Amino acid sequence: MTTIKDVAQHAGVSTATVSRVLNGHAAPTEETRTRVLAAVEELGYRPNALARSLRTTSTTTLGLVISDLVNPFFAEIARAVEEEARAHGFCVIVANADESAEQQATYVRNLLDRRVDGLLVCPATDDPTWIAEVEDKHIPLVLLDRTVAGATCPVVRADGAQALADLAAALTAAGHRRVGVIAGPADTSTGRERLEQFARGGLELEVVHGDFRRDSGVRAAAALLDLPDRPTALVAMDNLMGLGALEELRRRNLKVPADVGLAVYDDQPWFPLLDPPITVVAQPTVEMGRAAARSLLALIAGEQPDDVRLTARLVVRGSCGEATGAA
Amino acid sequence: MTTIKDVAQHAGVSTATVSRVLNGHAAPTEETRTRVLAAVEELGYRPNALARSLRTTSTTTLGLVISDLVNPFFAEIARAVEEEARAHGFCVIVANADESAEQQATYVRNLLDRRVDGLLVCPATDDPTWIAEVEDKHIPLVLLDRTVAGATCPVVRADGAQALADLAAALTAAGHRRVGVIAGPADTSTGRERLEQFARGGLELEVVHGDFRRDSGVRAAAALLDLPDRPTALVAMDNLMGLGALEELRRRNLKVPADVGLAVYDDQPWFPLLDPPITVVAQPTVEMGRAAARSLLALIAGEQPDDVRLTARLVVRGSCGEATGAA
DNA sequence: TTGTAAGCGTTATCAT
DNA sequence: ATGATAACGCTTACAA
């Protein structure tokens, strides 16, 4: 491996000069500059980022802890974060907490050990203990999608209040009175918030909590459909539980929306292709990822970014039935 | 930030002893061990991974260069790689080449600079120039999904030969004679290979090349459907182009399979939910990611892993029509 | 068993 | 404008 020493020797200058040239300092004269650059070129020299980081205490690397990478929503977020980071010359180390608080804590520690310049976390649960560690070390932190109580750092998330109100209204207009909710975990902010906001819609709710994953969607749908007084519509509070619900509906040969209406929180490219197309609350997923990365980058740059709330919106497609003139 | 020096001082030993304790060396006596550990605990000391890596020339980090993270197939691969890496105590830096050879080269260089212990690459194109750089530095390299000419490193990929033969047979049995192929780029091994293997099936083919992305699927489907002698079935050679084709079919109000049959290479969870469910060639995606990570880890450990070929298989669902007894 | 000290490849300070 | 040199925080001979 060729080092800065080799380059210095080859160019007949000191390592300091090579470093100055490579870092675009004002000092070196044009003549030495070209000589150094020639040596760099000839030897195919590339600076060791580790050594540099050790010295400068900057890694130009972001840590991203995702609560569940299987979830296309979070996969999309991860992609957007990577994109925005790349645009600013940063790399991203991606960590998957698999909705486990312990795994998340482990990963956060690992990323801190690696001296990432900042941390982007989609908290798996409300447990806030890990945050102290991050703040102790003064590592810039931004929360994404979910928040946790007592977090003093910037939070970037979607605002689904209006969309959920609209959804409740649309369901009501379509003649639904009693709907089954496949809710997220009660120990996540999004799990609680979506349920609560939807509950304000005045519908009679039957609630089963899932864990934001496919299987729980299947189980929750089954439980709701087995109810003696079966709800006329189901609302799944994330796309994976929505997928599970759809599978269960298909398994039971129930027609949507004739037998049961369905709506899902978080849109996916394939929802419009179903028959009928699925009515959803669409989140500005990519923009959330980008905004979060930008906030973190700003924090790293010493600025004080505000919280970001991106509004989700209802997309009515047909899986909840038609609005009846009467209702 | 507390360093190993602080711990040494606090425990009344040398930094060397602290290091030995922390790295589980045989030397230290039980008594000093506990004393050191107590100091570590009390100070909340965490070793600086950068400094350690600089010294040991090992980062326990894998670099993963994905050709297109938007593609759920690659997202799934990324997840599987991360999972397997984590199980072995490795982190993953994810890079997205966006199907661009230049971006890929840039990222490879960046990851080498960061001294990743090994590199996992899904090559964006056949261009092999970047490989030389990696091999020069003797960084373990494994190719994933796609290969490039002249690569001497292990390759992990799917074998779709049989599945594509089966697909051609199934299409024939369903009465199709002339099918439109939405193929991958000719400058990717998978693009060429899938087309070639499918072509052996004896069907009359109309081929349009896409770029493995959604839009190209829309365009290719449109082109094929506009043909004077319209094919009776479409085969999309990856899931995103399949999505695009489905959108175009829906836009034209064409019924599957009554008007046009459809099959897609690479399964997705929502394909069974469509009406009719989509016939696919299912790849062992997760296993590919895992296998690739394992091969790379083996390479890093000094072993000589073989190429891995995981067989894809045809899943007949209904989007190609029923087999007619006659055919 | 433990300590001393060199070295990993940089950058930055301080002279010159 | 350039060159020595210390320092970043750790591991590892080598010595004791």
Residue A4 φ then ψ, to 5°: -65, -25
- Name the percent of chain B lying above pLDDT 70: 99
> Helices then strands (H, E): number in chain B?
12, 12
Q: Judge whether B132 is closer than 8 Å to chain A, CB to CB.
A: no
Average pLDDT along chain A = 96
Q: Residue A15 CA to nucleotide C1 C1', Å?
A: 40
Copy the structure tokens of residue A268. 């996916």
Q: State the average pLDDT over residues A118-142.
A: 96
Mark yes or no for CB contact B93/A95 under 8 Å: no
B54 touches strand C (CB under 7 A): yes
- Name the percent of chain A lying above pLDDT 70: 99
Alpha carbon distance A298, A287 (integer Å): 16
pLDDT (0 to 100) of residue A327: 42
Q: Which CA distances in Å does A38 have to A12, A43, A323, B3, B110?
A: 12, 9, 73, 39, 21
Alpha carbon distance B266, B243 (integer Å): 11
Q: Which domains does chain A have, with CATH numbers?
A: 4-47 (1.10.260.40), 59-157+285-310 (3.40.50.2300), 159-283 (3.40.50.2300)
Q: State the average pLDDT over residues A142-165.
A: 97
Alpha carbon distance B86, A93 (integer Å): 12
Neighbouring C-alpha atoms within 13 Å toward the C-beta of B158: 30
User: B171-204, pLDDT tens digit by residue?
Assistant: 999 999 999 999 999 999 999 999 999 999 999 9
Q: Residue A64 CA to nucleotide C13 C1', Å?
A: 36
Alpha carbon distance B148, A84 (integer Å): 29
pLDDT (0 to 100) of residue B323: 82
Cβ atoms of residues B103 and B97 within 8 Å: yes
Q: Is the pLDDT of residue B2 over 90?
A: yes
Neighbours of B142 (CB within 10 A): 27
Mark yes or no for CB contact A270/B275 under 8 Å: no
A1 touches strand C (CB under 7 A): yes
Alpha carbon distance B22, B36 (integer Å): 9
Nucleotide C3's nearest residue (CA vs C1') is B14
Mark yes or no for CB contact A47/B250 under 8 Å: no
Neighbours of A259 (CB within 10 A): 13
Query: Residue A93 is nearest to which of B54, B91, B137, comparing CB atoms?
Result: B91
Strand C positions closer than 7 A to protein CB:
1-5, 7-13
Nucleotide D5's nearest residue (CA vs C1') is A16
The answer to pTM > 0.85 is yes
Angle between helices B30-43 and B4-11 (to 10 degrees): 120
Q: Is the pLDDT of residue A211 over 70?
A: yes
Mark yes or no for CB contact A114/B49 under 8 Å: yes
A10 touches strand D (CB under 7 A): no
Q: Residue A234 CA to nucleotide D9 C1', Å?
A: 57
Q: Which residues of B touch A78 (CB under 8 A)?
A: 69, 94
A12 touches strand D (CB under 7 A): yes
> Helices then strands (H, E): number in chain A?
12, 12
Q: Judge whether A70 is closer than 8 Å to chain B, CB to CB.
A: yes
Q: Is the peptide bond before B305 cis (omega within 30 degrees of 0)?
A: no
Q: Residue A21 CA to nucleotide D5 C1', Å?
A: 19
pLDDT (0 to 100) of residue B327: 42
Q: Residue B304 CA to nucleotide D13 C1', Å?
A: 31
Q: Judge whether A275 is closer than 8 Å to chain B, CB to CB.
A: yes
User: B114-139, pLDDT tens digit by residue?
Assistant: 999 999 999 999 999 999 999 999 99
Gap from B59 CA to chain A (nearest CA, Å): 9
Alpha carbon distance A285, A291 (integer Å): 10
Alpha carbon distance A89, A300 (integer Å): 13
Q: Which CA distances in Å does A165 have to A47, A156, A279, A281, A300?
A: 55, 21, 14, 11, 37
Provide the edge-to-edge strand list for the sheet that holds A178-183: A204-209, A178-183, A233-236, A261-265, A279-282, A313-315
Query: Residue A94 is nearest to which of B46, B94, B275, comparing CB atoms?
Result: B94
Q: State the average pLDDT over residues A13-41.
A: 96
Query: Which residue of A40, A48, A50 is the best one to mutate when testing the B interface, meaning the one whose CB has the most B CBs within 10 A?
Result: A50
pLDDT (0 to 100) of residue A325: 63
Q: Judge whether B67 is closer than 8 Å to chain A, CB to CB.
A: no
Mark yes or no for CB contact A50/B46 under 8 Å: no
Cβ atoms of residues A247 and B274 within 8 Å: no
Q: Is the pLDDT of residue A326 over 70?
A: no
Give the three-state DSSP class for A67: coil
Give B325's pLDDT tier (boundaries 50, 70, 90): low
**Residues 34-93 of chain A: which lie with beta carbon within 7 Å of strand D?**
51, 54-55
Q: Is the pLDDT of residue B112 over 80?
A: yes
Alpha carbon distance B238, B242 (integer Å): 6
DSSP A89: T
Residue-wise burial string across B162-199, b where 16 or more C-beta atoms lie within 10 A, e elsewhere: ebbbbbbebbbbbbbeebbbbbbbebbbbbbbbbebbe
Mark yes or no for CB contact A48/B54 under 8 Å: yes
Which chain A residue is nearest to residue B137, measuring alpha carbons? Answer: A1
Alpha carbon distance A172, A203 (integer Å): 7
pLDDT (0 to 100) of residue A251: 97
Query: Residue B83 is nearest to which of A1, A44, A96, comparing CB atoms?
Result: A96
User: B242-301, pLDDT tens digit by residue?
Assistant: 999 999 999 999 999 999 999 999 999 999 999 999 999 999 999 999 999 999 999 999
Gap from B109 CA to chain A (nearest CA, Å): 9
Sign for the CA dihedral angle at B48, B52, B57, B63 comes to negative
Mark yes or no for CB contact B50/A115 under 8 Å: yes
Q: Which residues of A touch B61 (CB under 8 A)?
A: 93, 114
Q: Residue B23 CA to nucleotide C13 C1', Å?
A: 34
Alpha carbon distance B174, B61 (integer Å): 50
User: B60-87, pLDDT tens digit by residue?
Assistant: 999 999 999 999 999 999 999 999 999 9
Q: Judge whether A138 is closer than 8 Å to chain B, CB to CB.
A: no
Query: Residue B72 is nearest to which of A1, A46, A72, comparing CB atoms?
Result: A72
User: B136-183, pLDDT tens digit by residue?
Assistant: 999 999 999 999 998 999 999 999 999 999 999 999 999 999 999 999
Mark yes or no for CB contact A95/B82 under 8 Å: yes
Cβ atoms of residues B179 and B164 within 8 Å: no
pLDDT (0 to 100) of residue A196: 98
Q: Judge whether A273 is closer than 8 Å to chain B, CB to CB.
A: yes
